[in-house]
Amino acid sequence: MTLEAATRERQMTADIIDGKGYAAGLGDRITQQVSVFAGHTGRAPGLAVVLVGSDPASEVYVRSKGRTARQLGMESFEHVLPEDTTQEDLLALVDRLNTDETVDGILVQLPLPRHLDSLAVIKAIDPAKDVDGLHPVNAGYLASGLPGLVSCTPLGCLMLLKSSLGSLAGLDAIVVGRSILVGKPMAQLLLAENCTVTMAHSRTRDLAGKIGQADIVVAAVGSAEMIKGDWIKPGATVIDVGTSRVIRDGAKRLVGDVDFASAATRARAITPVPGGVGPMTIMSLMHNTLLAAFRRADLAAPELW
Ligand code: GUN
How many angstroms separate the CA atoms of 151 and 108, rounded?
A: 13
Ligand 1 atom closest to Cα of residue 111? 1
User: 67: part of which helix (H) or strand (E)?
Assistant: helix 56-71
Q: 152: Cβ below 6 Å to ligand 1?
A: yes
For 160-193, what is each residue's pLDDT tens digit?
Answer: 999 999 999 999 999 999 999 999 999 999 999 9
Please tell me the CATH superfamily of domain 41-126, with its number: Leucine Dehydrogenase, chain A, domain 1 (3.40.50.10860)
Mutate to test the pocket of ligand 1, among 118, 180, 181, 184 (most ligand atoms within 8 A of CB): 181
Q: How far is the CA of 13 from the centre of ligand 1 (A)?
A: 32
CATH topology identical between 41-126 and 151-279: yes
Q: 181: Cβ below 6 Å to ligand 1?
A: yes
Cα torsion 184, 216, 275, 33: sign: negative
Q: Which CATH number fits domain 151-279: 1.20.1280.290, 3.30.1490.110, 3.40.50.720, 3.40.50.960?
A: 3.40.50.720
From the list 234, 187, 183, the residue with the least C-alpha distance to 213 is 234
Residue 9 has pLDDT above 80, yes or no: no
Tell me whether residue 109 is one of the annotated catalytic residues: yes
Domain layout of the chain by residue ranges: 41-126, 151-279
Which strand ranges, in their side-by-side order, compose the sheet holding 237-240?
A: 15-16, 269-270, 237-240, 216-219, 172-176, 196-200
For 22-58, what is each residue's pLDDT tens digit?
Answer: 999 999 999 999 999 999 999 999 999 999 999 999 9
pTM score, two decimals?
0.95
Residue 278 neighbours by CB distance under 10 Å: 21
